[in-house]
């Protein structure tokens, strides 16, 4: 075969191969293929409606499970229905209100609520807004004081565990016929000083009157305690059992 014939044959073979071969392969690393086609932006946490008091609270809630941001240790909790509200999420104070209860009623002793507090003490029997001298922070020490208080009737005194913390549960009511009061009592009505805050919970000072009853969960914590307070006005239609169902959903993170 002459030189020109060999050249034409080579061109035909090469051209045919070029036409029948697919496009050149491109090596793409798996990490590139795994990239999402769009950026996922997380739903922002709503701002607390009352930041001057509530810290990082969530306000009104829908049925579901939530976690605190500021309270230490972190609390994860669930509410069973729409209409519950979280009005405080601070380093040592957390507040939940059931549907239909008003925030103003917490201070006025007219609302049911669930409060969770860190490092509380028994309030001084003298009415001073300070801890009772000689009473420790353990669940046993606080429960023993409440059992001995002449103005209180105790029921349902038992060992419990909530959210990974152990302690005692007490149901407290003002004893019938009790007349003791304090200078700050509204219209001089009888009451018993109950719990008072220390450290980051300073300023909290709660009492018990004849208009409601209180369930306390006194939970031991290294170096202090966690106290859960459930306030129930019987005429509001709910019960300790209703609120305890919410308390049982609480879990606490590490301290």
| 187 has a pLDDT exceeding 80 | yes
| Domains: count for the chain | 1
User: CA 124 to CA 109: how far, in whole Å?
Assistant: 19
Please report whether residue 38 resides in a domain: no
3-state secondary structure of 170: strand
Please report whether residue 11 resides in a domain: no
> What tens digit of pLDDT does each residue of 142-163 get?
999 999 999 999 999 999 999 9
Please report whether residue 41 resides in a domain: no
* pLDDT score, position 33: 39
For 185, the domain range is 51-252
**Structure tokens, 248:** 């049982």
CB atoms within 10 A of CB 149: 20
| 28 has a pLDDT exceeding 50 | no
Please report whether residue 180 resides in a domain: yes
Q: Is the peptide bond before 73 cis (omega within 30 degrees of 0)?
A: yes
Please report whether residue 135 resides in a domain: yes
User: CA 55 to CA 71: how far, in whole Å?
Assistant: 10
Please report whether residue 26 resides in a domain: no
What's the whole-number mean pLDDT along residues 10-19? 40
CB-CB contact of 198 with 122 (8 Å): no
Average pLDDT, whole number, for the chain?
Answer: 87
Q: Would you place residue 217 in the very low, low, confident or very high pLDDT band (cuts 50, 70, 90)?
A: very high
CB-CB contact of 178 with 230 (8 Å): no
Please report whether residue 125 resides in a domain: yes
Q: Would you place residue 51 in the very low, low, confident or very high pLDDT band (cuts 50, 70, 90)?
A: confident
| 24 has a pLDDT exceeding 70 | no
What's the whole-number mean pLDDT along residues 197-217? 97
State whether the Cα torsion 148-152-156-161 is positive or negative: negative
Please report whether residue 33 resides in a domain: no
């Amino acid at each position: 075969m002459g030189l020109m014939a060999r050249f034409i044959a080579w061109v035909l073979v090469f051209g045919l191969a070029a036409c029948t071969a697919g496009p050149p392969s491109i090596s793409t690393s798996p990490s590139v293929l795994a990239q999402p086609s769009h950026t996922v932006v997380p739903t922002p946490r709503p701002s607390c409606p009352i930041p001057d008091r509530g810290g990082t609270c969530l306000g009104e809630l829908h049925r579901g499970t939530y976690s605190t941001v500021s309270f230490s240790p972190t609390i994860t909790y669930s509410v069973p229905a729409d209409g519950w509200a979280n009005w405080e999420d601070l380093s040592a104070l957390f507040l939940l209100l059931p549907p239909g209860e008003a925030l103003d009623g917490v201070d006025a002793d007219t609302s049911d609520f669930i409060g969770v507090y860190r490092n509380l003490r028994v309030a001084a029997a003298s009415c001073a807004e300070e801890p009772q001298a000689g009473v420790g922070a353990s669940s046993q020490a606080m429960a023993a004081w409440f059992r001995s208080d002449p103005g209180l009737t105790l029921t349902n005194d038992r060992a419990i565990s909530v959210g990974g913390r152990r302690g005692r549960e007490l149901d407290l009511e003002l004893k019938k016929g009790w007349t003791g009061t304090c200078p700050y009592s509204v219209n001089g009505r009888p009451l018993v000083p109950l719990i008072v805050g220390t450290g980051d919970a300073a300023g909290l000072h709660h009492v018990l009157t004849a208009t409601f009853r209180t369930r306390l969960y006194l939970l031991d914590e290294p170096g202090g305690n966690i106290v859960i307070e459930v306030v129930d006005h019987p005429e509001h239609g709910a019960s300790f059992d209703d609120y305890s169902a919410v308390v049982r959903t609480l879990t606490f993170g590490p301290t």
